[in-house]
Every structure is written in C-alpha cells, then in structure tokens.
Chains A and B, each alone.
Chain A
Amino acid sequence: MMYILEKKRLNQILSDWAQNYEVYVPQKVENYAQFLPYHPSSIINLSDPHKTRYPPKALFLPQSEVMLKYDSRLGRFEDVNSHQSPRIIFGMRPCDAKALTLLDTVFDTEEYSDPYWKARRESTVIIGLGCVEPPQTCFCTTVDGGPFNHEGLDAILTEFDEQYFIEVLTEKGEIIFNQLQLATNQQEEQIRHLQTEAYKEMEPAFETSGLKAKLDKIFESRYWEEIAESCLGCGICTFLCPTCFCFDIVDEVQRNERVRNWDTCMFRIYSLEASGHNPRPTRKERTRQRLMHKYSYWLEHINQIGCTGCGRCVRYCPVGLDIRAMLRTASIYESEVVHAG
C-alpha cells in the first residue's frame, strides 16, 4: 500500500508536522546539503543524489555533547538532561538509517544504555528517501543494504515525476501520514519496478564472503603499509561515516563542562597512553584499525559488516583512497608479493 504526496505540497506537510515536532530536512548549505531544522523559509535540497555530507548520525550522536556541568572546587556536578522532544527526520537515505540500527547495538545494550542516544532514538520518526539513481561511489548492495532498504526507517519515499510515493513501515510512520491519496496498483507496480532497477544498477564493489578471514590472515602483513602510505591520517572518513561512533570525553576547563566529542582512530593521540607508549604508533596501525573494525571486528560483535556503503569516505578522502579498492586488493593480497608504488 502506497500513499502519494505531491512534491509541491511538501512544504505544507512539513509545516503541519512542525506544529508538534522538530522537523529536520536536508537543506542547502554552500554547495551541499545538510540536515537542519525546518522552517518555512528553508531551502530544501532533497535532490542531491549524494545525500548530506555531514552524516545524520549527528542528530543522534552529536559531534559535541555536554554530558555534565561541574563545579571543580566543590567536586559537584549536574547531569545534563537527556530528554529529547519529538522529532521527524525527513529524507534520510537507507544507508544512513541502517547505520543507526548498527549503532543501536553499541549504544543501547542490556548492560549499559546510553541515555542520550536512547532518548533521541525513541523520540524520533525517520522518513527515508530511497535512491532512484544511486551514485557511482555508493555500494550499499555490496554490504547487505540497498537503495530502498527498510532497516531503521519508519517510512520510505520513492521519487517519481512530481510525486513522492510513500510506504509506511512502522507504527511510528503510520501516525504522521494520514489523509493522503492512495496509489493505484499500476502506479505501485511502476514504483516497485523503479526500485528494482536501482538495485540492479549497483554492481558488487568487492567480494564479502571470506573477506573477514582474509583480513584477519593478513593482519601482520605489509599490505597495511602500502595502504597507509598516502593516507593523511585526518578524520574525514571517520567523521563523515554513518557507522563510526568513537568519541572522546573531555573536561573543557574554560566552560566547566564534561563534553563528549567525536574522536577518530586515525589520530595519533587516540590511543596514546600517559606513559608515552602508543599501541598504534604509525599510520599503518591506525589505518589497519579502521578497516579491521569495519570489516572484521563488527562481524564478531553482531555478525554484520560495520559499513553501509554510503560512499562518503570514497568521495571526500583528500588523497582519493577508495575503501572498495582497498578491500579488493586485500582479498587477493599475497604476502610474498611486494607491490611497489
């Protein structure tokens, strides 16, 4: 069953929702799109096939988040309220939504539940926008995803002509869509065809079966030196990645706040110990950690690859490193062969 929303009515429906929810929608910032709170004069940008640069994971795990405010003299502190008012995120791509379900297994465990993450997840409705023309740098289908994948979404939209065709996936999604025209069977068939074509367009970027075993096997090999040689060790791939979650907790002394900030295994000081010892002293160990975490360790934790194929790391790496090529090279890497250049 699909509903139809005329594109020209989008502003109206967003404004209606904004009466009761904080609404986030991709908007134009400089030359790209970013999820920002909606207001009537927002310049909505849903047509950027490359999704938002800054990942929507930031709406659940903000780049900087105050956890407590303290008085260091008295040794007293107060928690910052983790309450989150209801939100609707409109236009999230399936790769970003699936990533949130992966991060749930980190932040919302039985033993320790992250109250900030949990509050945001529970109070947010996520409406996805499927990818009719997946860009060349995307590889969601290679990692058990897809341009119209449902995981993590409460509803999913398919764009066609001047309309959005809406499939409601959960109860949360049901609540906010009402009084919309239903699509005819013929129209539904057309949309399903579009979706299937989008899946088919995406060729596998690398072979995933046996990949983990191979990566484990070449852990000590020179392969990582070759990969790391041009890597700058900046934080772009990790910060823009929807499944990366590492964070730093630091006391900001100028403001008397204990803050959680995104951190990255690519930085030297990430694992630097007070004694001066660094378990990952060179770029090689750090680049290796990133790939191993995504394509080996995640599998040991939840039997899923820790990457949803969004392709941001491929597009924004300043030196053009392509994780798909790195993995293809890894799967055929023979330790005896020394590659030059």
Chain B
Amino acid sequence: MDELKARLRVEIERLFDEDIVDVVIAFKKEDSPLRPQPAFFRSRDNLDSLEYNALCQNNLANYLTRYSHETRIGIVVRGCESRSVYALVVEKQHPRENLYLIGVPCDGIIDLRKIFHLTGEEITGYAENLGVVFVEYKGAVYKFSRNELLHDSCLRCVHPNPVNADILIGEPLPEGDPLFVRTAVESFEALTKEERYAWFQHEAERCIRCYACREACPMCYCTECFVDHNPPRWTESTGSPAGTHAWHIIRAFHQAGRCTSCGACERACPMDIKMTYLTDKLNEDMLNIYHFETGMDDKTQPPFASFNLDDRNRFTA
C-alpha cells in the first residue's frame, strides 16, 4: 500500500507540474483515527497528507458535480468509482476531456463497522499484509482475514479494475464472479413476499431520514430531490412508515441504470441500514432486460434516460 501511495503521489505531482489539472480529488490522512477523508489538492504542497488504503470509505465521484465544467479535475478512482465517473460523464455532469482518471485496481474497502462488531470501537491501530488484517484494540492485537471484514458491496464486486483510466497505478485484479455476486439478491429472492416485506420494513424502520445515503451517492445530484418537492408533496418528510418506505423504494428506482453498486450509501448510513439489495437487483434487471451496465464507457446512455426511434425495448419486459 505504501508503494502504491508513493506512486500515486508521483503521478499527482506530475499532473500539477505539467499543469494538466486544477484540482486532484483523493484521500488524505485522517483527523479521526482510521478515517481517511476526501481531499482536494490544488498544488503539490501538502501531498504529505495523501492517503490511500482500504479504509477509504467514500465514493469520490460524488464530488465531481460540485465543480464547474471548466475545472480540470484529476481524481483517484477505484473500480466502482470510475464507473460512477463515467455515469456522470454520460449524464453530462462533467466533460470527459476535463477529467483525468488515476485508476487504482481495488481489492475492496474494509468495513469499519465489521471490525467494531468483532472487537469494539476503540481501535488504536490498524495494518494489513497479504490478506491479513491486524487490529489493535485495548492493547491486544487481533487478526482477521480480509474477506471477513470487506464491505458487503465489495464482496460482491464484479469490476474491481477502473474502467478506461488515464493511468493505472497497481496491478489489475481478476474480475468478480457474477454468480457469487448474485448471492445477496438470491437470498432475498428466496424469501416469500411477506418475508421480503418484513425484511424491508425491519431495515427501513431504523431510518432517520438524514439522507446521508443520498448525499454520499455520486448519482444523487439533483438540485431538488423528490422528497423536498412541495407542492405536490410526493412523500412525507415525516418519519412515518409511509414516508420512509417511499423514500427507500423511490430512491432505489431512481438509481436504476445509474448505480454502480459501490455501497457508499450503506457505509454512510448511521443506523446500519442495508439497502444495496434493492439497487443490486435493479442493476441486475438492467443487465438482463436492457443489456446495460452502468459506467462501462463514456457514450452508452442509460436506458431510462434516453430515447431513440429505433428503441424496441418494452418498458415492461
């Protein structure tokens, strides 16, 4: 990881030296222990704080929509992040020519909450080496396999390699097994209708409508979200089952053909709500019905955001 970080730094320095970018979006060393933060470097100064490791929890593509189209942005992207970037490019949220993608093949984000659940929250040290994670808690060191601690979305990752990056830092990784990827959706599908609704309710009832899932998601960039619209009032902002269920379901549907299953929504949620099973299923539908996978290039339009006269797909397939 340190070697990777060093190579990242060299590349970022080069981008500034050759005046290729105005800002580089990456991660930096944390204020809180074990929490690297999104960073916005504007020159080679302060690159000492550059960080890259498996604890980098956020999808950096989220920040692209904050910049004017003229801003030349360099961005460190992993697999899902690069696809989010392309999804934004396709939706014309930033021109491709003003983006420089620094691709890093990703072997998954460690879910801090899984660590906390296994040890406790006062982690004082973290290191990993060759698939083993060492965590220091209350003076003792615990060992875990990486797989035990990966965030669920990362366990189900199909495309760990950045798509069409301008430069690749690190060795490409094998693609994920699509069959294994299905397991979460499969186990949900195995439930009866009543059980599915019970599970959905069980998750949704913890929701406090903080909209962290929305704000962490690169594709939720609408200036006015449907929950904020009034009149007419599409959904209640009141924390009632009606309002909260509508929030989760409609947001998931708004992601169809746009979501890259990065899991940033789940990682942001303070109440540990599972929600990627909904978007994973919708992504699967998009693939099966419309043969569309989000963000695999910078041209193909998402099926629900485009129309052409030759369109022979039916909406209800």
Listed in ascending order, the chain A residues whose CB lies under 8 Å from chain B are 29-32, 49-50, 53-54, 63-64, 135-137, 229-230, 232-236, 239-240, 248, 250, 252-255, 259, 261, 264, 267-269, 283, 314-316, 318-322, 324-326, 339-341
Contact = CB atoms under 8 A, between A and B. Distances in A.
Given A136-B33, A261-B238, A235 B211 contact: yes
B250 to A, nearest CB: 15
A79 B264 CA distance: 42
B237 A321 contact: no
A315 B34 CA distance: 11
B133 to A, nearest CB: 19
B49 A341 contact: yes
A322 B62 contact: no
A270 to B, nearest CB: 10
Interface string B92-118: 000000000000000000000100110
Given A230-B40, A250-B237, A320 B122 contact: no
Contacts of B66: 283
B233 interface: yes
A53 B35 contact: no
Nearest to A323: B31
A321 B210 contact: no
B237 A232 contact: no
30 contacts: A31-B113, A31-B116, A32-B272, A64-B238, A136-B33, A136-B122, A229-B40, A230-B38, A230-B40, A234-B211, A234-B212, A234-B216, A235-B211, A236-B212, A236-B270, A252-B238, A254-B242, A255-B240, A259-B238, A261-B209, A261-B237, A316-B270, A318-B212, A318-B216, A319-B37, A319-B58, A322-B31, A339-B46, A340-B46, A341-B46
B208 A239 contact: yes
Nearest to B210: A235
Given A232-B212, A318-B57, A318-B216, A340 B272 contact: no
Given A135-B122, A235-B209, A319-B58, 13 more contacts: A30-B271, A31-B113, A135-B121, A235-B211, A236-B270, A250-B230, A261-B238, A267-B211, A315-B121, A321-B31, A321-B37, A322-B32, A341-B47
Nearest to B30: A320
A339 to B, nearest CB: 7
A135 to B, nearest CB: 6
B237 A233 contact: no
A138 B277 CA distance: 34
Contact of A234 (B32, B214, B239): B214
Contact of A325 (B31, B40, B45, B58): B31
A234 B272 contact: no
Contacts of B38: 229-230, 319
Given A232-B212, A322-B32, A340 B43 contact: yes
Among B49, B117, B121, B212, residue most surrounded by chain A Cβ atoms (within 10 Å)? B212
A135 B31 CA distance: 16
Contacts of B43: 340
A321 to B, nearest CB: 7
B208 A320 contact: no
Contact of B42 (A54, A255, A324, A341): A341
A261 B239 contact: yes
B215 A54 contact: no
A230 B37 CA distance: 7
Interface string B261-296: 000100110111000000000000000000000000
